[in-house]
């Protein structure tokens, strides 16, 4: 996998301070190209923006559509002036007032998902008011997501939704799936359900939006699994060998973006206590999360960028963040050359979710700056470091 050089990351921290996120846009595009190449031209790839909202505009030329999972994410797209033809409006909660604004913006160019009969009714009402006929995926259930088969069949038999075009089925069951047999089971289920839809309603499923949930390797003892060329070839054949034939779009996020991100922190204190070496840095678990990590038990891909030549003697360290909680363990044990205050530690593979799943407002620490890097444009600051205490301060009269 492509990685940024030590000098680039050092320059980023020197220029913008720490803690800092750096997203390698070239790596993001390369990963997109790789996955699209592996699944082939018959299958489209959509970027799920909740993975990393800062990559939304960057993805426009790579993705077929951008999956938008909240009203706030829609406002980001609107602010960035992203074409409605690029948007798939999804999300569990769709308030009527939010959906009206969204449909007024996207009109018939956007594609929408429906999570419940109530959402279908609301979309029908809005579309009728606006004299539109909108394309809607009916979402097949998994837990709190979507509707069960019988409910979808019932909706398709109804003649109440004249302004709703049944666009297809949307299906997502979870993330970090590392075994193809899970996908095989899901694809077989879809194949059977699509046949049932045609038999019982006379309607054909024209499009499938399938959330892959591909697992990725975060830690040093993990290897790539379902996203190797061999496994992607097998996965593609699972889809293309369905009895059902139609248009397939794969919804991806983690598998597209995980390897393009870096989180840089500065060592602020080094101490020995009861025979154990501790590092305290200016970041913490409120700003970084690896799916599957538990109190720093697993070793993520990281590197130490030293400010000066030091001892070649290696030591074992425990790396802690800046929070007043015993849970703020970034790495419970790792070995490296002796470190000093001011050295930089860079965590890799944090381009997807890791940045956004932490408790960012806990203890009112600052929100890190965010920078982009590309070979063409170099380093660009896209969000300044921001104080968060104002968000935790009540209005007082």
pLDDT of residue 345: 98
pLDDT of residue 397: 67
Residue 145 is part of a domain; what is its CATH number? Answer: 3.20.20.10
| Alpha helix positions (H), the chain | 6-16, 25-39, 71-79, 96-106, 117-129, 149-157, 180-201, 229-240, 254-257
Which contiguous run of DSSP H or E holds residue 344?
strand 344-348
1 within some domain:
no
pLDDT of residue 148: 97
pLDDT, tens digit, 9 for 90 and up, residues 32-72: 999 999 999 999 999 999 999 999 999 999 999 999 999 99
Do 316 and 235 share a structural domain?
A: no
59 within some domain:
yes
Do 342 and 194 share a structural domain?
A: no
7 within some domain:
no
Do 170 and 71 share a structural domain?
A: yes
pLDDT of residue 287: 95
Overall number of domains in the chain: 2
- Asked whether the beta carbons of 251 and 209 are under 8 A apart, the reply is yes
| Stretch 184-203: mean pLDDT | 97
pLDDT, tens digit, 9 for 90 and up, residues 211-243: 999 999 999 999 999 999 999 999 999 999 999
Do 81 and 41 share a structural domain?
A: yes
Report how far residue 320's alpha carbon sits from residue 345's, in angstroms, rounded to the nearest whole number.
12
Domain of residue 179: give its range: 25-258
pLDDT, tens digit, 9 for 90 and up, residues 105-154: 999 999 999 999 999 999 999 999 999 999 999 999 988 899 999 999 99
395 within some domain:
no
pLDDT, tens digit, 9 for 90 and up, residues 350-377: 999 988 888 899 999 999 999 999 999 9
pLDDT of residue 142: 87
Q: What is the DSSP string of 192-241?
A: HHHHHHHHHHS----EEEEE--B----BTT----TTSHHHHHHHHHHHHT
pLDDT, tens digit, 9 for 90 and up, residues 268-287: 999 999 999 999 999 999 99
Smallest CA-to-CA distance from 343 within 279, 255, 258, 290 is with 279
pLDDT, tens digit, 9 for 90 and up, residues 378-390: 999 999 999 999 9
pTM: 0.95
User: What is the CA angle 152-157-161, rounded to 5?
Assistant: 85
Report how far residue 386's alpha carbon sits from residue 390's, in angstroms, rounded to the nearest whole number.
10
């Amino acid at each position: 996998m492509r990685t940024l050089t030590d000098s680039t990351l050092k320059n980023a921290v020197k220029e913008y301070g720490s803690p800092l996120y750096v997203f390698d846009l070239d790596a993001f595009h390369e990963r997109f190209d790789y996955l699209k190449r592996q699944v082939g031209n018959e299958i489209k790839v959509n970027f799920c923006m909740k993975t990393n909202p800062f990559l939304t505009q960057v993805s426009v030329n790579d993705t077929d559509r951008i999956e938008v999972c909240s009203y706030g994410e829609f406002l980001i797209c609107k602010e960035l002036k992203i074409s409605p033809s690029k948007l798939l409006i999804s999300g569990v909660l769709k308030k009527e007032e939010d959906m009206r604004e969204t449909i007024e913006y996207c009109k018939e160019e956007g594609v929408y998902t429906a999570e419940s009969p109530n959402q279908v009714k609301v979309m029908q009402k809005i579309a009728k008011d606006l004299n539109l006929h909108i394309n809607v995926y009916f979402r097949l259930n998994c837990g709190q997501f979507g509707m069960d088969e019988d409910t979808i069949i019932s909706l398709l038999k109804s003649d109440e939704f004249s302004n709703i075009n049944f666009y297809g089925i949307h299906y997502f069951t979870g993330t970090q799936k590392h075994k193809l047999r899970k996908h095989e089971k899901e694809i077989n289920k879809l194949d059977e359900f699509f046949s049932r839809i045609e038999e019982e309603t006379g309607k054909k499923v024209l499009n499938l939006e399938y959330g892959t949930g591909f697992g990725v390797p975060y830690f040093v003892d993990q290897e790539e699994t379902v996203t190797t060329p061999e496994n992607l070839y097998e996965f593609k054949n699972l889809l293309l060998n369905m009895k059902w034939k139609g248009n397939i779009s794969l919804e991806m996020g983690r598998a597209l973006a995980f390897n393009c991100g870096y989180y840089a922190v500065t060592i602020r204190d080094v101490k020995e206590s009861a025979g154990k070496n501790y590092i305290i840095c200016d970041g913490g678990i409120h700003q970084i999360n690896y799916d599957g990590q538990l109190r720093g038990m697993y070793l993520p891909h990281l590197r130490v960028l030293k400010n000066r030549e030091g001892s070649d003697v290696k030591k074992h360290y425990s790396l802690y963040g800046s929070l007043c909680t015993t849970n703020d363990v970034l790495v419970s044990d790792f070995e490296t050359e002796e470190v000093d205050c001011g050295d930089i530690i860079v965590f890799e593979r944090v381009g997807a979710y890791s940045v956004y799943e932490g408790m960012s407002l806990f203890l009112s620490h600052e929100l890190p700056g965010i920078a982009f890097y590309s070979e063409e444009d170099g380093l660009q600051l896209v969000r300044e470091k921001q104080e968060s205490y104002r968000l935790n301060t009540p209005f007082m009269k």
